[in-house]
Chains A and B, each alone.
Chain A
Amino acid sequence: ASDDGLVRIGLKKMKLDPNNRLAGQLDSKDREALRASMAKKYRFHNDL
Chain B
Amino acid sequence: GSEETDIVALKNYMDAQYYGEIGIGTPPQKFTVVFDTGSSNLWVPSAKCYFSVACYFHSKYKSGDSSTYKKNGKSASIQYGTGAISGFFSNDNVQVGHLVVKDQDFIEATKEPGVTFVAAKFDGILGLGFKEISVGDAVPVWYNMVKQGLIQDQVFSFWLNRNIEGEVGGEIVFGGVDPNHYKGKHTYVPVTQKGYWQFDMGDVLIGEKPTGYCAGSCAAIADSGTSLLAGPTTVITMINQAIGAAGVANQECKAVVQQYGQTIIDLLVSGAQPVKICSKIGLCAFDGTHGVSMGIENVADESNGKSSGILHGATCPACEMAVVWMQNQLMDNQTQDRILNYADQLCDRMPNPMGESSVDCKNISSMPPVSFTIGGKVFKLTPDEYILKVGEGSEAQCISGFTALDVPPPRGPLWILGDVFMGRYHTVFDYGKSRVGFAEAA
Contacts and interface: CB of A to CB of B under 8 A. Distances in A.
Contacts of B8: 40-41
- Chain A binding site: helix, strand, loop or mixed by DSSP? mixed
Interface string B78-107: 011110000000000000111100000000
B161 interface: yes
A43 B9 CA distance: 9
Nearest to B404: A35
Contacts of B82: 30, 33
A37 B309 CA distance: 32
B195 A43 contact: yes
A8 B354 contact: no
B211 to A, nearest CB: 22
Contacts of A21: 14, 390
Given A37-B11, A41-B11, A31 B354 contact: yes
Contacts of A32: 353-354
Given A9-B172, A12-B20, A22-B119, A41 B97 contact: no
A44 to B, nearest CB: 5
A16 to B, nearest CB: 5
Size class of the A contact interface (CB-based, 8 Å): 35 or more
Given A1-B97, A40-B9, A13 B170 contact: yes
A9 B98 CA distance: 9
A14 B17 contact: yes
Contacts of A42: 9, 38, 196, 221, 407, 414, 416
A42 to B, nearest CB: 7
Contacts of A34: 11-12, 81, 354
Given A17-B390, A32-B353, A37 B169 contact: no
Interface in B352-399: 352-356, 388-391, 397, 399
A6 B407 contact: no
A16 B389 contact: yes
Given A4-B176, A20-B119, A22-B119, A38 B411 contact: no
A31 B175 contact: no
B39 interface: yes
Interface centre among B22, B170, B354 (most CB of A within 10 A): B354
Interface in B146-192: 150-152, 160-161, 165, 168-178
Contacts of A18: 390-391, 397
Q: Name which of B16, B97, B122 has the most chain A CB atoms within 10 A of its CB.
A: B97
B173 to A, nearest CB: 5
Contacts of A20: 14, 119, 121
A11 B98 CA distance: 15
B414 A14 contact: no
Interface of A: 1, 4-24, 28, 30-35, 37-44, 47-48
18 contacts: A7-B174, A11-B160, A11-B170, A13-B161, A14-B17, A16-B388, A20-B14, A20-B119, A21-B14, A31-B354, A40-B7, A42-B9, A42-B38, A44-B407, A47-B407, A47-B408, A47-B411, A48-B408
